[in-house]
């Protein structure tokens, strides 16, 4: 089913923002500022978001609803780490807050655009 231009644009923004957040989380936890030297299993925290990607690619409302429930947890976790870390870890966590919040806003925008199109 083709989407209205505004809906398609919002879906693309949501996909790009979610992919950026996932990519940053993996990079952050494995290379840039891992909890333990050499990387940690905390990089696996992005698995729930990865499970939503196929649905997001299909423009599934259910996947976007799940992402809207999951992303605030990632924002909160990154915010806590940004406030309690120092140096490079703080900068990495701050970018994590921004990307997860951006993905959340983009998901909400795509749901709203889809409702307007109906």
The predicted structure's pLDDT at residue 3: 66
Give the contacts of 92 (CB within 8 A, at least 6 positions apart): 28, 32, 33
Give residue-wise pLDDT tens across range 20-78: 999 999 998 888 888 777 777 888 899 999 999 999 999 999 999 999 999 999 999 99
Tell whether the model's pLDDT for residue 82 goes beyond 90.
yes
Tell whether the model's pLDDT for residue 118 goes beyond 80.
no
The answer to whether the beta carbons of residues 93 and 24 sit under 8 Å apart is no
Tell whether the model's pLDDT for residue 1 goes beyond 60.
no
């Amino acid at each position: 089913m083709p989407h209205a231009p505004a809906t398609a644009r919002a879906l693309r923004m949501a996909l790009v923002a979610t992919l950026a957040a996932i990519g940053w989380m993996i990079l952050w936890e494995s290379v840039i500022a891992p909890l333990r030297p050499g990387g940690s299993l905390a990089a696996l925290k992005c698995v729930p978001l990865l499970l939503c990607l196929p649905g997001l690619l299909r423009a599934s409302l259910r996947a976007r609803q799940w992402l809207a429930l999951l992303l605030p947890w990632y924002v909160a976790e990154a915010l806590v780490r940004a406030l309690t870390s120092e140096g490079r870890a703080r900068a990495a966590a701050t970018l994590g807050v921004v990307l997860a919040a951006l993905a959340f806003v983009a998901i909400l925008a795509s749901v709203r655009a889809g409702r307007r199109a109906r």
